[in-house]
Amino acid sequence: MAYNEDAVLSKLSALTETHESIATTAQWIMFHRRHAAQTVHLWLTKLKDLPSPKRLNMIYLANEVTQQSKARNKDDFLQAFSPFIADATALSYKGASSDIQNKLRRVVDVWRERKIFPMEVQDAIDSRLRELDSARSGGTMFGSTSLSSPAAAVPPELAPLVTSQQAVIKSAQALKTSLTTANSDYSKLMDPAHAPPQAPVYAARLNGLLKNLANAEGAVTECIKTREELISALEKMLSSNRQALEAEQSQLRDLGTRKTAVEEKKQAIELSIIGGLPHNAQEPATGEERAPSSSDGHDIARPQVEALTPPHVQDHDDLYDHRPSEQQQPQNGHSHPTGSAPGIEMLSALASQYESVPTRQAKKRKIDETADIPDVGIDADVAEMIQKESTI
């Protein structure tokens, strides 16, 4: 079957979901790959006219053609499908049943895994499907990509930039395809090295070249328009950020001035406090206590506190006998206890200077068992009476 518009539409209308039908149609389309751009335009037009269940077959056909082209290193259809595949996939996905949507998701996952389309095209497909899922259910998961709302991930200030950038990407892809087709046809028809065909055929091909050049021109115009919109949005954002930057720098200068004024005020107050102290007043060293002062500023004398430490042993050497107790022999053969207090030892020493007075046997034995009565300053009369009694 010769290639023409009716033949393409006939093939697309007879397409079914079976693998045989999809593979046969894909082979016929790839055989006429020199008409890739026209075939893709007819394919997109047919897809828009079909009901939702039939659109899945068109996506299967595009998948077969692009994968076969990728395997054979033929980029004609890859370039032709790239500008329109995101819109076509979103159109097929919108309003479809859950079963059809799941099948479409598997196809898109295969495109990503095998890198059929460029990364920007794949991102555009995911973005369109993400918008549809977000609008329907508030965010679901698409394959391995999160389909949360774009507004939750993109700040509101960047939303115009995102829209403009997506438009630039889409127009740039369409421009690339149109330019490739127009340049290819122009080289074939206008190259002097190639012999021109017969006049009627040559005229028809030149007519087709004019259409391709017009399409490329329109694509360039659209690309320029979208890029100018993007630049305008960027300039608006840049201008607003510059104004905000100037305001923030002014605030920073004001805060620095206020901080300097507060520091100077603080130092002045501290100097006035220090100036009110006496001239001979000195700050105590670290760890040293300040002497208490009265309300008129004069220091209060500290009270004299008696030390609690006992005197050194050497200060009272004359009160102790350093000889061993068992070798100490008191005067007159009398022993006195050791280890007593110094006052008691002094009294014992004084009492040992007096000899025992002879008395009755009972009293003498009693006195012998104890120690002699020391002279502690007894009155003379009392001493005489005691002396008389002891001689009786």
pLDDT tens digits, 65-103 = 999 998 888 888 988 898 889 989 999 998 888 888 889
Q: Which of 30-34, 152-156, 208-212, 213-217 has the lowest mean pLDDT?
A: 152-156
Residue 151 binned pLDDT confidence (cut-offs 50, 70, 90) = very low
**Are 57 and 103 a contacting pair, CB within 8 Å?**
no
Output the CA torsion sign for 31, 36, 38, 42: positive
| DSSP state letters, 280-305 | T--PPPTTPPPPPB-TTSPBPPPPP-
Please choose, from the candidates 328, 326, 331, 325, the residue with its C-alpha nearest in 3D space to the C-alpha of residue 356. 331
- In the prediction, which pLDDT does 277 show? 62
d(CA 110, CA 104) in angstroms, rounded, equals 10
**Are 54 and 66 a contacting pair, CB within 8 Å?**
no
Q: Is the pLDDT of residue 139 over 70?
A: no
d(CA 370, CA 192) in angstroms, rounded, equals 158
Q: Which residues contact 107 (CB under 8 A, 6 or more apart)?
A: 59, 60, 63
- In the prediction, which pLDDT does 43 show? 92
Task: Count Cβ neighbours within 10 Å for each residue of 330-351 and write b for 16 or more, e otherwise.
Answer: eeeeeebeeeeeeeebeebeeb
**Are 209 and 186 a contacting pair, CB within 8 Å?**
yes
Please choose, from the candidates 250, 260, 186, the residue with its C-alpha nearest in 3D space to the C-alpha of residue 217. 186
Q: Which residue has the higher pLDDT, 68 or 311?
A: 68
- In the prediction, which pLDDT does 378 show? 61
Identify the CATH number of the domain defined by range 1-153. Answer: 1.25.40.90
**Are 132 and 90 a contacting pair, CB within 8 Å?**
yes
Q: Which of 60-74, 136-150, 180-194, 263-277 has the lowest mean pLDDT?
A: 136-150
Residue 146: helix, strand or coil by DSSP? strand
pTM: 0.41
Q: Hey, where are the domains in the chain?
A: 1-153, 155-243, 357-392
**Are 14 and 21 a contacting pair, CB within 8 Å?**
yes
Q: Which of 64-68, 74-78, 216-220, 314-318 has the lowest mean pLDDT?
A: 314-318
Q: What is the mean pLDDT of the chain?
A: 76
Could you report the per-residue pLDDT of 167-215, keeping only the tens digit for each?
Answer: 888 888 778 877 888 888 888 888 888 777 788 888 888 888 888 888 8
Q: Is the pLDDT of residue 226 over 50?
A: yes
Residue 297 binned pLDDT confidence (cut-offs 50, 70, 90) = low
Strand extents, DSSP E, the chain:
140-142, 145-147
